[in-house]
Structure 1
Amino acid sequence: MINFLDQLDSFIWGPPLLVLLVGTGILLTIRLKLIQLIKLPHALTLIFKSENSGEGDISSFSALCTALAATVGTGNIIGVATALAAGGPGSLFWMWLAAFFGMATKYAEGVLAIKYRQLDENQEVAGGPMYYITNGMGKKYKPLAVFFAFSGILVALLGIGTFTQVNAITSSIESTLHIKAEIVGLILAGIVLIVTFGGIKSISKVAEKVVPVMATSYLIICVFILIINYQSIIPAFEMIFKGAFNMTAATGGFAGATVAMAIRNGVARGVFSNESGLGSAPIAAAAAKTEWAAEQGLISMTGTFIDSLIICTLTGLTLMVTGVWQMEGVVASSLTERAFNTVLPTIWGVPLGSILLMICLSLFAFTTILGWNYYGERCCQFLFGVKSITPYRIIFVVMIGSGAFLQLEAVWLIADIVNGLMALPNLVAIIALSGVVVSETQLYLNHIKQPNNNLESIEL
């Protein structure tokens, strides 16, 4: 089974999908005239200063935090370590490149989410790829939207949303505090039950409080480790750029990485972490209170910047400057813990690094569970109506509780596979509707230049 899943994963995440992912980002970067670079400062200010005056369920900041809750997770810690172990330092370069173009893709997703959102039977905002496929491309493309929604439910229940996160939390707490995984899993299921049954407003309230604190805390720890090992930072960057275009020698924890392996692992793990092009983030973005589709697009693209170009980069550099990425016989998921423990002291016989990483990893994984619960819920509602929401939430909580009792070697493979299936229809829709994205962008740029003009008076 593992061998079959591995072959299927390699097929789905082969050159065609990687080219489509990066190619979509390149196309949008050209058509939007480097918007992810030119408008990044403006986008970062919008996180805290957006008007929040339009229709929606939550603020733009809450929508971003909900999206970040789903993206900032085990991929930032375990995923980066896995990419380094399999693809070498060069994989970080390709992760950066994919993230740069992915910012344009994430921008387009945010724009289309607001442009084509609608109200469901409960008068709550519903949006995302399934809606911009049917409302933007036309009803005849509904099978594509159904395929996306079905894949989204699989990702939520079998991929990123449940087992990978539960496994990360329970194994980390069990190894550090020696609390049985089954007990942790049941407690986790209870907390998820309480939060998720409150809907998007409850999830966003938790996300906007937890995400900034957990991300900042993790970054401080990584920066502290980099300062201690400052002499190794420049050599680390040299290895990254050399490894991106040259075969890495067979040393340390992996048997040699070709350029192709560096590209595949860098792009695939980067997408797994920041979810640009996956179609998940626009589901949360659609709930934002905003009048301008492009405004939410700019806020959405900062998620990829924060996730991959800041958090993933600091994780990768931490693994490299401490030298743990070259350790033999160490599983990738333990590399970050080893890196933390090389610098941080031991308190009362317990390594401080292990405790801090356990806290960070648990919070990262927990918020990812909350975010993906909402994504799966919206996909389920699109397919089966609002009556399916409660049964879906119950199934989701059961999956969380059962995840602690399952020893799944194939967890990461399954997550990768369903991610790829989810990305395909979304990327097709983004390319088809790229003209709409350009028009909405010009509309917003004219607005910020002449804010007193109304929509009708603006000439595109």
Structure 2
Amino acid sequence: MEALQNFFEWLGGYVWGLPLLILLGGTAIYLTLRLAFLQVTMLPMALKQAFSPPKAHHHDHEGDISHFSALMTALSATIGTGNIAGVATAIVSGGPGAVFWMWITAFFGMATKYGEAVLAVKYRVTNEKGEMSGGPMYYIERGLNMKWMAVLFAVFGVLASFGIGSSVQANSVAQAIQTSFDINPWITGVALTILTGIVVLGGIQSISKASSYIVPFMAIVYVAGGLAIICLHFDKVGPAISLICRSAFGLDAMVGATIGMAVRYGVARGVFSNESGMGSAPIAAAAAKTDHPSRQALVSMTGTFLDTIVVCSITGIVLVIGGLYQTSSESGAALTTHTFNDLLPGPGGWLVTFGLIFFAYSTILGWCYYGEKCASYLGGERIVPIYRIIYVVSVLLGAGVNLGLVWAASDVFNGLMAVPNLIALLLMSNVIVAETKDFIMKRRSGELP
């Protein structure tokens, strides 16, 4: 296991090297400029669209689920261990400055998430079951006529689903429950496996319904707890934010991490958390009922804002205020749990534990949908039941696997998954811009509400 972990860490160093960071950042900045900072100018409308109840005429639009359900399915897969354990590992490895680079990644990544969703809805297809199928594999094939690159994305997507989707989540939950309740990880694995199997067998309707209940409830509870800590220690918030900004550029002598480490871990964990550029979220966006690709794309864009700018920021600021990352040998969820418990004795630790359980479980559900869509692209609908069985088993196995190995492998597959998707976004940026202009013009003329 140690040799395999070392291999994935070595490979991850290359995958997440300068070329991918440039590709991720360059694509996000390029789309931001071409879309005239749409993530700022149209964010209010996007948030209103995301949380407004569906209107009666929306039921006539093509798609399987509502805007809100599509957003919750995407958020179920993004708001997970990355928001709790991922932020902690980023700070431990890259210093407080990693939080700053997570913010930068999220801000520009909103344009990337928007672009992905535009293409996903525009090039989606109806599968053998009459359901919508879409995502990078479809827009790469249908928009660029590059079947080989679409296949590569789908293969990496399936592999990534077993890492970021099932194993990482199950492992983090098992470790958190063992720390809090001294329950054997394998027992937790069995329970998660059963609960996962019950929901995923129902497909997107079942997954989106479960996500629509779990994600809003737990996100509100977790954010409220984090804000309570920030309010109780408000005098430390300013210094904490100052430290984050200074260490992001190597201006704090007390922080051992270099600028390079802050950037690498901030970007890697930021992408792990909000998945902008990876090509996963547009798979859920493609299932939404919508009258225009850009409308659902705006809703999808809010996912990055809520995930990183809101939830990850709260975790990061609380961790920097607590300062345990400097003295403790802990990392991941355990560090976040103990920090919350120190700053909010009593409910703090429980809040993180239960937040991690619910966030991770919803992520397991969301990524099963992503993975099965990639699998069905490769082998047709007949392969979906087989994929679901393997996925559910991977939840059980992930609960007892070494955490370092799981994280290292996940980083590699996440990076490999992003490459073909980012290339497609750059090559199809004209389509994204054209669809955006069309949406704005139709709204101005009254053709669209």
TM-score scaled to structure 1, two decimals?
A: 0.94
What is the aligned counterpart of 2:431 among 433, 436, 446?
436
Matched, 1:5 2:12: no
User: Runs of 4 or more off by more than 4 Å in structure 1?
Assistant: none
Q: CA deviation at 1:403?
A: 2.1
C-alpha distance in 1 between matches for 2:62 and 2:436: 19
**Comparing 199-208 and 438-447, the one that deviates more:** 438-447
Query: Residue by residue, what CA displacement relative to the aligned partner does 1:141-166 show, whole Å, maximum 9, x if unpaired?
Result: 10000000000000112x10111101
State the partner residue of 2:296. Answer: 296
Q: CA deviation at 1:355?
A: 2.0
Unaligned runs of 5+ in 1: 347-351, 455-460
State the partner residue of 1:419. Answer: 414
Q: CA deviation at 1:108?
A: 0.3
C-alpha distance in 2 between matches for 1:233 and 1:76: 19
The one-letter code of the counterpart of 1:413 is A
Question: Any residues of structure 2 matched to 1:365-380 within 5 Å, and which?
Answer: 365-380=360-375
**Comparing 445-454 and 63-72, the one that deviates more:** 445-454
C-alpha distance in 1 between matches for 2:34 and 2:330: 45
C-alpha distance in 1 between matches for 2:45 and 2:142: 29
What is the aligned counterpart of 1:156 among 151, 161, 164?
161
Query: Are residues 185 and 391 of structure 1, via their aligned partners in 2, closer, same or farther at CA, if it must alter by over 3 Å?
Result: same
Q: CA deviation at 1:387?
A: 0.3
Contact 1:236 1:317 (C-alpha < 8 Å) held by counterparts = yes
TM-score scaled to structure 2, two decimals?
A: 0.96
Q: CA deviation at 1:329?
A: 2.4
Contact 1:247 1:259 (C-alpha < 8 Å) held by counterparts = no
Question: Any residues of structure 2 matched to 1:36-75 within 5 Å, and which?
Answer: 36-49=39-52, 52-53=58-59, 54-75=61-82
Contact 1:99 1:305 (C-alpha < 8 Å) held by counterparts = yes
Contact 2:119 2:432 (C-alpha < 8 Å) held by counterparts = yes
Query: Are residues 248 and 3 of structure 1, via their aligned partners in 2, closer, same or farther at CA, if it must alter by over 3 Å?
Result: farther
State the partner residue of 1:124. Answer: 131
State the partner residue of 1:259. Answer: 259
State the partner residue of 1:238. Answer: 242
Contact 1:247 1:258 (C-alpha < 8 Å) held by counterparts = no
C-alpha distance in 2 between matches for 1:174 and 1:91: 28
Matched, 1:339 2:339: yes
C-alpha distance in 1 between matches for 2:439 and 2:289: 16
What is the aligned counterpart of 2:188 among 184, 190, 193?
184
Query: Residue by residue, what CA displacement relative to the aligned partner does 1:12-54 show, whole Å, maximum 9, x if unpaired?
Result: 0001001100100111011100000100001000012365342
Query: Residue by residue, what CA displacement relative to the aligned partner does 1:328-355 show, whole Å, maximum 9, x if unpaired?
Result: 3233432211111113334xxxxx3222
The one-letter code of the counterpart of 1:241 is C
C-alpha distance in 2 between matches for 1:408 and 1:325: 18
Q: CA deviation at 1:357?
A: 1.3
CA RMSD of aligned residues (A): 1.4
State the partner residue of 1:221. Answer: 225
Query: Are residues 95 and 345 of structure 1, via their aligned partners in 2, closer, same or farther at CA, if it must alter by over 3 Å?
Result: closer
Q: CA deviation at 1:453?
A: 6.9
State the partner residue of 1:457. Answer: none
What is the aligned counterpart of 1:95 among 92, 95, 102?
102
Question: Any residues of structure 2 matched to 1:276-295 within 5 Å, and which?
Answer: 276-295=276-295
Query: Residue by residue, what CA displacement relative to the aligned partner does 1:158-204 show, whole Å, maximum 9, x if unpaired?
Result: x1011110111111112112222111111110111110000000000
State the partner residue of 1:306. Answer: 306
Q: CA deviation at 1:297?
A: 0.7
Contact 2:113 2:301 (C-alpha < 8 Å) held by counterparts = yes
Query: Are residues 291 and 453 of structure 1, via their aligned partners in 2, closer, same or farther at CA, if it must alter by over 3 Å?
Result: closer
State the partner residue of 2:398. Answer: 403
Matched, 1:33 2:30: no
Q: CA deviation at 1:264?
A: 0.7
Q: Secondary structure at the match of 1:10?
A: helix
What is the aligned counterpart of 1:446 among 419, 424, 441?
441
C-alpha distance in 2 between matches for 1:333 and 1:344: 16
**Comparing 410-419 and 92-101, the one that deviates more:** 92-101
The one-letter code of the counterpart of 2:80 is G
C-alpha distance in 1 between matches for 2:403 and 2:231: 37
The one-letter code of the counterpart of 2:244 is I
C-alpha distance in 2 between matches for 1:426 and 1:330: 35
Question: Any residues of structure 2 matched to 1:352-367 within 5 Å, and which?
Answer: 352-367=347-362
The one-letter code of the counterpart of 2:281 is A
Contact 1:247 1:257 (C-alpha < 8 Å) held by counterparts = no
Contact 1:249 1:257 (C-alpha < 8 Å) held by counterparts = no
Matched, 1:22 2:17: no
Contact 1:250 1:257 (C-alpha < 8 Å) held by counterparts = no
C-alpha distance in 2 between matches for 1:445 and 1:203: 32
Query: Residue by residue, what CA displacement relative to the aligned partner does 1:81-124 show, whole Å, maximum 9, x if unpaired?
Result: 11111111111111111111100000001101110000111111
Query: Are residues 453 and 205 of structure 1, via their aligned partners in 2, closer, same or farther at CA, if it must alter by over 3 Å?
Result: closer
C-alpha distance in 2 between matches for 1:222 and 1:8: 35
C-alpha distance in 1 between matches for 2:123 and 2:247: 42
Contact 2:84 2:332 (C-alpha < 8 Å) held by counterparts = no
Contact 1:195 1:203 (C-alpha < 8 Å) held by counterparts = yes
State the partner residue of 1:458. Answer: none
C-alpha distance in 2 between matches for 1:106 and 1:396: 26
The one-letter code of the counterpart of 1:87 is G
Query: Are residues 453 and 230 of structure 1, via their aligned partners in 2, closer, same or farther at CA, if it must alter by over 3 Å?
Result: closer
The one-letter code of the counterpart of 1:341 is N
Query: Residue by residue, what CA displacement relative to the aligned partner does 1:385-437 show, whole Å, maximum 9, x if unpaired?
Result: 00001011111111112222333531101000000010000001111111010
Q: Secondary structure at the match of 2:164?
A: coil
Query: Are residues 407 and 452 of structure 1, via their aligned partners in 2, closer, same or farther at CA, if it must alter by over 3 Å?
Result: closer
